[in-house]
Structure 1
Amino acid sequence: MEIPRLLYTFGGPAMALLGSLPVLLRPRGAAPPLLDGPLKQNHDFPAAQPRAKSYLPLPSHIVSGNPRQTNTVVFESPDARYAAGIWTCGVGAFRIDFEHDEFIHLIAGAVTTTDAAGISRSYRAGDAFVSPRGWSGTWTVTEPVKKHYTWYKAETAAA
């Protein structure tokens, strides 16, 4: 009975030591390069939004008010499946169908989103949320909105 007790008492620490040996015995050398290939650089969001052309949603999508919008794309991936930018919208309500997954961080204003099932959520400056691909509903902008966004468009199956 003494051997099982010793194994139970000292087995855990011994196994932990053996498991850490590859890390402890790793040769010290130069760190591996961060990226192979051409030099990559960050894309900063400008402190002030550059002048952007304004537009309205399709007339059939406007529910009320004057939801005039602007969009400034700060970055887009070479395959056009990922983008980040700055978007603004005036007071009003409009229908929208998200074609991609979008992360939204409100910088200014207030909006209430109401999905197709009638569930409403309100967001104010400082709030962040995700609208998944396929989300469909109404945005009601009660104070002019400015948001930083990133979106990702998954590959779709060939038709």
Structure 2
Amino acid sequence: MGVASPQGWARFAWQSDYGQFYLVDCGDVAFEAPVEITPQMEQTGVATPKAGLVVYTQGCLQQHIQIAIYASEPEGSPVEPLSGRPWTRVSTATASFPSRAFGLSSPSFPHPLPAGPLFVLDAERVNVRIEWMEHPEGRDDSVPVEPDVIAVTLWPA
């Protein structure tokens, strides 16, 4: 069996205000992230509302977010591929995207732009692996910093 190839992927420079970003189902015009962040959400770094996905970040405002979509579960790697640095945490979840499509969003812009970026899925329910490569030292976001990396990998549940 060979190495799985993504059906699609993209990497974005992102600014996660309020320490979170969203994968919003394209059919959910009333998406709302949880207001209360529970200890479990803090620990796992993820929340799964009725539709969509919420990913929590650490203190840094700057991230590189990678979205990758596969037909089946790909093998994970213990390190972030571009830097070779180990992931600082990994979580898994199952999420629902009834429209089988989603866009990226954040608290200051609660709905994705209608012209994208949009991602199309093969299934309504997907497994998700979220991997973070966070820099543990304190940082001052008023000066240029090396961004955290967050990889979000999705495949049919």
- How does the TM-score come out when normalised to structure 2? 0.23
Structure with the larger helix share: 1
Structure with higher RCO (Cα < 8 A, 6+ apart): 2
